[in-house]
Amino acid sequence: MNITLTLPDGSKREYAHGTTGLQVAESISQGLARNAVGIFLNDTPNDLSTPIMADANVRIVTFDQDEGKQIFWHSTAHLMAEALEALYPGVRFGIGPAIEQGFYYDVDLPGDMKLSSEDLPKIEAKMVELVKRDVPFQREDISWDDAVQYFKEKGDEYKLELLEGFKGQSITLYKQGAFTDLCRGTHVPSTGMLKFPKLLSIAGAYWRGDSNRQVLTRIYGIAFPKKQMLEEFITMREEAEKRDHRKLGKELELFMISQTIGGGLPVWMPNGTILRRLLENFLRDELIKRGYQEVITPHIGNLNMYRTSGHYPYYSDGMFPPIQFTDETGREEEYLLKPMNCPHHHQVYSSKPHSYRDLPIRLAEFGSVYRYEQSGELSGLSRVRGFTQDDAHIYCTHEQLKDELINAIELTQLVFKTFGMEVKTRLSFRDPNNTEKYAGTDEMWNQAEREIQEVADMMGLDYFIGVGEAAFYGPKFDFIVRDAIGRKWQLGTVQVDYVMPERFELEYTGADNAKHRPVIIHRAPFGSMERFLSILIEHFAGNFPFWIAPVQVSVLPITDDQIPYAQALTQRLLDLGYRAKLDDRAEKVNRKIAESEQKKVPFALVIGKKEVESGQVSVREHGIGDKGAMNVDAVLKVFAELKNA
């Protein structure tokens, strides 16, 4: 009996019933068989050892694909667990998933034992030793009762707790060498593929993210099939450390985070405020051209408004607790630190009647919002508790929807193009197998998903579909950018919403004189200003383009005799709108030049006796060095060209 397998190119091949994924790979090429890490059967990942029992669409993945990396890294998490169990008998294991860059495993060490970064080389060496044995990953299907019995005997209460959530389901274990773990899979064929592991860091993590539970030790790592890949990763990681926005933010005096003010609540220093305002103004200019109206809404809102929107029940775990009080009349009230701007904008829309002739209405705001993040998750500007979204909500007719989506996407693309960021688009759809997570009807969702895919096709976007990535009220376009050193970040978003108009009973009067519901587009090109700036700082390594550099030019007199000339030049630059800074300290000029370079100021204008006499300046460009003497008017011409570039 044969089965028919359809390959990614649409071709069909006949195989014997029970053929494994590895045998399919071997039939295509020996190179593919050597590098394959898993097989997708009808979009479901499987081990290469899985017998294929029916006709299917098949896709064999290697480390080169994102899905292949996830399989590879998850397998390496198991390898690390085996090494830990060999080195620290009695260690117990929480969860060990693959993540975007590598993997982690949460573990509970026996007794009072603690791990530090100094222990990582020893664990890593044990992993390499285990790789050399090259043993297979073996899947075992067992009953729930047998699994419970196994982990009771092992004394691992974390796996027993996880099993409570799988009661009544078929359970799978994976074994390699002396280590057995509770796992759904998928895994590489054998440990010998995991040739070049690298452990990266150690952190604390609450079990299951609950701050009232045990703090486990989280070990992060990564692995590669080739040594060159590992070396390239290490080089990139070193470069990323140099670009770390937390380090550069302090050195360039862009922002600060004070525990006196509160964790996760960034304060913008003067330089950072200039940078942020320049980005806001850049976007504001575009919004005016595109017919947006700016609004300002409060930092708190009545809790019932968020109950109406559904944000409070859906996202209450990520919000600060409600503010409860009794007013002077004895009435009890509940307010919430604003977690999102949407409901406030819906109130602006509903504040007066609208005709179809008024639409589209485009409301925009740089609105501050507040969301609760656990202390251990906070990181610089990228994970904060208070941030500002460049939010907008477009209220339009269904006939206007596609044009408005195109306009919003083009604006987002303009942002990324301006800063030289390569972008890919994810169409984020709901998970059809978990519909209780989402508001609205199947009809609404099917229509919205169909429409955004049609727009993506019309615009020729480079996109992929992310199932389960939608917002609770609708599907969306998410934009994944790649920075200067190749890292990927999810930034701007454009979302379609048929749910909120129903919940807030938003209306307009149509040409037929009947009441209709508008469609809402949620749109944020930057996403959050804080997160965008954290990425922008690292993208440019603090070497900002001239037009957004907080200080564009340093004016450096060599001696006190040149200070009057330098003061006049600085004032002229300020009058022309350039951000110039005079350094008239009694320091040697070489030190002034070095400090200007360290602060990454694009230009330094050095003024000595000769420059005063000739009416010139000696120009130094950041990262390049001495450009020679130039007339002031020639320098201003260069600045004007850069400013308008």
pLDDT of the residue at 173 = 95
| pLDDT of residue 437 exceeding 80 | no
| pLDDT of residue 284 exceeding 90 | yes
Q: Give the model's confidence band at 470: pLDDT under 50 very low, under 70 low, under 90 confident, else very high.
A: confident
Q: Which of 169-173, 346-350, 522-526, 626-630 shows the highest mean pLDDT?
A: 346-350
Structure tokens at 469: 């990535």
Residue 486 to residues 67, 245, 287, 480, 560: CA-CA distances in angstroms? 18, 16, 30, 12, 47
Q: What is the DSSP string of 176-227?
A: ETTEEEE------SBGGG--EEEEEEEEEEEGGG-TTSPEEEEEEEEEESSH
pLDDT of the residue at 47 = 95
Class of domain 546-643: alpha beta
Question: Which pLDDT tens digit goes with each residue over 475-502?
Answer: 889 998 877 777 788 888 999 888 899 9
d(Cα 319, Cα 154) in Å, to the nearest integer? 39
| pLDDT of residue 440 exceeding 80 | no
Structure tokens at 539: 């993208």
Cβ contact 284:315 at 8 Å:
no
Q: Give the model's confidence band at 43: pLDDT under 50 very low, under 70 low, under 90 confident, else very high.
A: confident
In sequence order, the β-bridge partners of residue 58 are 41
In sequence order, the β-bridge partners of residue 423 are 481
Structure tokens at 445: 């969702």
Structure tokens at 342: 């949407």
pLDDT of the residue at 534 = 93
pLDDT of the residue at 456 = 92
Question: Which pLDDT tens digit goes with each residue over 570-586?
Answer: 999 999 999 999 999 99
Chain centre distance of CA 167: 34
Which of 342, 640, 608 is CA-nearest to residue 474? Answer: 342
d(Cα 417, Cα 426) in Å, to the nearest integer? 17
d(Cα 262, Cα 164) in Å, to the nearest integer? 38
Q: Which residue has the tokens 């204008």?
A: 605
What's the average model confidence in pLDDT over 343-359? Answer: 97
Structure tokens at 537: 């700082």
Structure tokens at 583: 């350094």
Chain centre distance of CA 329: 46
Q: Tell me if residue 392 falls in helix, strand or coil.
A: strand
d(Cα 76, Cα 89) in Å, to the nearest integer? 19
Structure tokens at 281: 């103004």
What's the average model confidence in pLDDT over 356-361? Answer: 97
Active site residues: 342, 371, 389, 391, 393, 476, 522
Structure tokens at 354: 């609208």
What single-letter DSSP state applies at residue 521?
Answer: E
Question: Which pLDDT tens digit goes with each residue over 47-84?
Answer: 999 999 999 999 999 999 999 999 999 999 999 999 99
pLDDT of the residue at 442 = 82
Bond from prior residue into 217 cis (ω within 30 degrees of 0): no
Phi, psi of 102, deg, nearest 5: 110, -135
d(Cα 49, Cα 24) in Å, to the nearest integer? 10
The proportion of the chain whose per-residue pLDDT surpasses 90, expressed as a percent, equals: 79
Our separate counts of H helices and E strands in the chain read 20, 33
What single-letter DSSP state applies at residue 234?
Answer: H
CATH number of 67-242: 3.30.980.10
Which of 535, 448, 435, 460 is CA-nearest to residue 494? Answer: 448
| pLDDT of residue 433 exceeding 80 | no
pLDDT of the residue at 211 = 76
pLDDT of the residue at 80 = 97
pLDDT of the residue at 441 = 80
Question: Which pLDDT tens digit goes with each residue over 155-211?
Answer: 999 999 999 988 888 899 999 999 999 999 899 999 999 999 999 999 888 898 777
Cβ contact 266:247 at 8 Å:
no
d(Cα 266, Cα 310) in Å, to the nearest integer? 28
Helix, strand, coil shares, percent, the chain, to 5: 40, 30, 30
d(Cα 387, Cα 370) in Å, to the nearest integer? 7
Cβ-in-10-Å burial (0-12, 13-18, 19+) of 357 comes to: exposed
What's the average model confidence in pLDDT over 326-349? Answer: 93
pLDDT of the residue at 265 = 96
Class of domain 256-540: alpha beta
- Return the minimum-mean-pLDDT range out of 121-135, 208-222, 590-604: 208-222
d(Cα 26, Cα 58) in Å, to the nearest integer? 14
d(Cα 75, Cα 11) in Å, to the nearest integer? 31
Q: Give the model's confidence band at 439: pLDDT under 50 very low, under 70 low, under 90 confident, else very high.
A: confident
Structure tokens at 44: 């479901």
pLDDT of the residue at 51 = 94
Q: In what order do the strands lie in the sheet containing 580-582?
A: 580-582, 553-557, 603-607, 616-621, 625-631
pLDDT of the residue at 643 = 87
Q: Give the model's confidence band at 272: pLDDT under 50 very low, under 70 low, under 90 confident, else very high.
A: very high
Q: What is the DSSP string of 307-354?
A: HHHTHHHHHGGGSPPPEEEE-TTS-EEEEEE-S-SHHHHHHHHTTS--
What's the average model confidence in pLDDT over 83-102? Answer: 93
In sequence order, the β-bridge partners of residue 293 are 363
Phi, psi of 180, deg, nearest 5: -130, 135
CATH H superfamily, domain 2-62? Beta-grasp domain (3.10.20.30)
Domain residue spans of the chain: 2-62, 67-242, 256-540, 546-643
- On the question of a common fold for 67-242 and 546-643, the answer reads no
d(Cα 531, Cα 381) in Å, to the nearest integer? 6
